[in-house]
Chain A
Amino acid sequence: MVIRGRLAALALAGSLALPAFAEAPGRVVSINLCTDQLAMMLAAPGQLVSVTYLAQDPRASVMAAEARAYPVNHGLAEEVYLLRPDLVLAGRFTAQATVAMLQRLGIAVVIFDPAYSLLDVRQGMLDMGRTLGRDAEGQAMAEAFSARLAEIAAPASAVTAPRPTAATYAANGYTSGDRSLSGEIIEAAGFEHLAASMGLPQGGVLPLEALILANPDLVISGQPYPGASRAEEVLSHPALLALSGDRTAMQDRDWICGLPSVLAAIERLRATRDDMGGQE
């Protein structure tokens, strides 16, 4: 998937020549939360010169503490240009105008697609390693990830008994699809994903009524952000709180990016599932 991303980037930017990757880029700026965190883990000391301000937000980033060591950017072309980067790391859907501007200014930009599956997570690690000229580190991380994933996910797939259903429910009644990273995390933890039976493979808005009637065994919601919003009020609706199934909270940072930390998310959900099994 990242190869596709890189080809697209090449098509967009004639200036991005492949030989640029023959030697490791010296000054790398990341303007996407997910590339921020992968790059912090894989870059050589001094290689990464700036990450986004989101990377310092403990609600969105699992590496908020590490990110404090870096100057932050806000994904604006101007500030990124002034950092004189050899390479900019961007996400597929972040700041497209910025990316286009940087490419016009002749700066190499590598665009990473979001991780839609556990396989994508592994591939993202390999691609980041290659992009930063740190192939060995990227490969080591990917191998460690795959090995640990096989350990914790294998027993779940071996379960033949009917699996408990789980649904994510977020602000505005949004539920993630089963064909997404969070969907695969939920399935790897041994749950049936409600979105699959609801016909929402890509996720979407699930009316509260429909969720209540489906009566899932587990509802996974996010933790509300500070400063109230009506969008999040639905998460404390009396009907949702009265459901007979369990509820648990996952923070956005746990599974929005394809990082090694998704393993921890799987383990936590698995522990939740085992507790539920004990009650029955």
Chain B
Amino acid sequence: MTQARLLGALGALVVLLFLAALVTGPAPVGPGESLAALIEGGHGPLTLVMREIRLPRAILAVMIGASLGLSGAAMQGYLRNPMAEPGVIGISAAAALGAVLAIQTGLAALFTLALPVAALCGAGLGVALILLLAGSGSSSLALILAGIALSALASALTALVLNLSPNPFAANEIVFWMMGSLADRSFTHVLMALPLMALGGLMLLRCGRGLDVLTLGEDAAASMGINLRGLRLGVVAGVACTVGAATAVAGAVGFVGLVVPHLLRPLVGARPAALLPAAALGGAILVLAADIAVRLVLPGRDLKLGVLMALVGAPVFLHLIWRMRGQQ
């Protein structure tokens, strides 16, 4: 399958699932009626539901899925390790810690972008720490161990901050920050996440050529004129922006960046540059599908996205570990 046809097929699937997400919800309204209310307006409360609740939710699902798929593909390309994924190696957890700190200190209330920027800082620190502990070329084992340590530390600190909050509801939100959810998000959140996601996405997509050459090894890449330092900066900043913004509005949704590149890699001939846009679309498909599923399985009960993602993602992760075992 050519690159263009693959992207076309994935894009069509995104559109289809986007429409399905719009007509899925606890309110018992027919699909035709709800889409009419969305487009024409003037259907009273139904228009309000479609425009202010379901539309931002579906848009966020696309944005967050694309961000996570893209950052997973980029990290895996840079570290040349199929297990490098923001959720699995603790970068999402670090972003969540940044977001929770911003919310609980009141920083988030100062200006609109304060929340995603704080999450970005958390994610950036997380990526930097991971690269320091298990830089490119080191074993999968080192990467996973570093990820476990970062994950555990960030999650524990998040729980601590939320438990110290004077707000009686805050402590219950540990689940949201660790599992992620799109319930009751609004256009405020879309606008909050969009600038950083767009910036980070562009940075990561521009890394494509560098990542392609890097598959030959660092020395070969350097001799072919790739600025390795620039490439690393691009990956770190891009991942921090996309994962930070996604986590700030939806909590830590794991496994998207693991499953999507894993499934799409054979279809793009294992070329990182070709994988990046495909993984972005694939991520959008996965998160849209998961967000539809959580609403169908338990309507109106806010089943966390991370629950479904783990059910899909953990077997893939185990499969990767199994393969790694075979190689040794």
**Which residues does A use to contact B, with CB under 8 Å?**
171-173, 205-210, 212-215, 225-234, 237-239, 242-243
Contacts and interface: CB of A to CB of B under 8 A. Distances in A.
A49 to B, nearest CB: 27
Given A209-B25, A210-B300, A233 B184 contact: yes
Nearest to A215: B45
B159 to A, nearest CB: 14
Pairs of residues from A and B, 6 with the lowest C-beta to C-beta distance, nearest first: A239-B52, A231-B169, A227-B167, A207-B300, A229-B169, A207-B26
29 contacts: A205-B301, A205-B302, A206-B300, A207-B25, A208-B184, A209-B25, A209-B49, A210-B300, A212-B49, A214-B45, A215-B45, A225-B168, A225-B169, A226-B167, A227-B166, A227-B167, A227-B170, A228-B108, A229-B167, A230-B169, A230-B173, A231-B169, A231-B172, A231-B173, A238-B188, A239-B48, A239-B49, A243-B45, A243-B48
A112 to B, nearest CB: 22
Given A213-B27, A234-B184, A229 B170 contact: yes
B27 A228 contact: no
A156 to B, nearest CB: 27
Contact of B184 (A215, A229, A237, A242): A237
Interface string B21-50: 000011101000000000000001110110
A229 B165 CA distance: 9
A238 B169 CA distance: 21
Nearest to B176: A230
Given A173-B184, A205-B300, A238-B188, A213 B166 contact: no
A41 B293 CA distance: 53
B186 interface: yes
Contact of B186 (A205, A210, A229, A238): A238
A243 B49 CA distance: 10
Contacts of A226: 166-167
Most buried by A among B52, B301, B302: B52
Interface residues of B, number: 34
B170 A212 contact: no
B202 interface: no
Given A208-B53, A233-B184, A228 B45 contact: no
Interface string B176-193: 100000001011100000
Contact of B169 (A171, A209, A243): A171
Contacts of B108: 228
Given A213-B46, A228-B104, A237-B184, 10 more contacts: A171-B169, A208-B53, A226-B166, A227-B165, A227-B166, A228-B108, A230-B169, A232-B167, A237-B186, A238-B188
A140 to B, nearest CB: 35
Nearest to A239: B52
B267 interface: no
A276 to B, nearest CB: 18
A205 B183 CA distance: 13
A242 B48 contact: yes
Contacts of A234: 184
A232 B169 contact: yes
B26 A209 contact: yes
A173 B169 CA distance: 12
B228 interface: no
A232 B172 CA distance: 12
Contacts of A171: 169
Contacts of B27: 207, 209-210, 213
B103 interface: yes
B45 A225 contact: no
Contacts of B141: none
Interface string B280-320: 00000000000000000001111000000000000000000
B9 interface: no
B152 interface: no
Nearest to A225: B167
B292 to A, nearest CB: 15
B149 interface: no
A234 B169 CA distance: 13
A213 B103 CA distance: 31
B6 interface: no
B115 to A, nearest CB: 10
A230 B27 CA distance: 22
B47 to A, nearest CB: 10
Contacts of A208: 53, 184
Contacts of B52: 237-239, 242
